Structure 1
């Protein structure tokens, strides 16, 4: 497949991404942090748009959270946008200070 073909195939793949919502929340937060250079602003904005579309909650401009497992989906996004683990980091945490607003956003208790 040509590089252009791979790009189009990747675009269709990220357009179909969805984060699966389990029946029961495991009480863990998945936090995504990214640091994309200013000269790649369009890539950064496109990533933010996709995270919003996937249902992530934005804590800060480059800090997003989701209560559900998303490693596979982020691996696809990381590949599509050509990002490294130095530019995009995933954390799994047991608590986030003042998480009431986040829980309300996701409709979880």
Structure 2
């Protein structure tokens, strides 16, 4: 898998299985049947694992003459983000907007740029201004955990509001009625 390339549905299935099972061999993958699909053959699983390994999403190890694969931290984060976004799509909106305001110093510019992308692409936020983001989804808890882990919590403020001007525009952005 080339760097920067998006993960396709088949790769998500592999990552989801590894998240659920911990580690699996190629042989174990060939035993799995997805509804409405042909079972995977040994070669296609091997190629998929090779792509995911090159992308840094999985690692392999040998045990009893078999290759077992498990998620890397990058792979785990990728599949958890995807599952989180899927969960957001099916939840009913509670009518509240979550707003994140942050001000990271220039010395943390790389983090600032990374967090902007993270908020927009993986946590379902929309930029109101350069350092002000909004979402209708209840994701502040997840964001707070990440920020504490990265020692960046002190640069962020959270707001939950029930009214905001130009709300109809935001509802269109998020596909709300």
TM-score class, shorter: 0.7 to 0.9
Ranked by relative contact order (alpha carbons within 8 Å, sequence separation 6 or more), the top structure is: 1
Structure holding more helix per residue: 2
Q: Extract structure 1 runs of 4+ deviating beyond 6 A.
A: none
Q: Give the conservation status (yes or no) of the 8 Å contact 2:101–2:132.
A: yes
RMSD between aligned residues: 2.0
Cα distance change, pair 87–14 in 1 and its aligned pair in 2 (3 A)? farther
Q: TM-score, normalised by structure 1?
A: 0.78
Matched, 1:83 2:116: no
Structure 2: stretches of 5+ with no match in the other structure: 1-71
Bigger Cα displacement from structure 2, 38-47 vs 67-76: 67-76
* TM-score, normalising length: structure 2: 0.51
Q: Which runs of 5+ in 1 are unaligned?
A: 1-7
User: Counterpart in 1 of 2:117?
Assistant: 49
Q: In the superposition, relative to structure 1, how do residues 12 and 53 fare at CA in structure 2: closer, same or farther (>3 Å)?
A: same
Name the structure 1 match of 2:4: none
What is the alpha-carbon distance in structure 2 between the residues aligned to residue 74 and residue 38 of structure 1?
21
Residue 35 of structure 1, CA deviation: 0.9
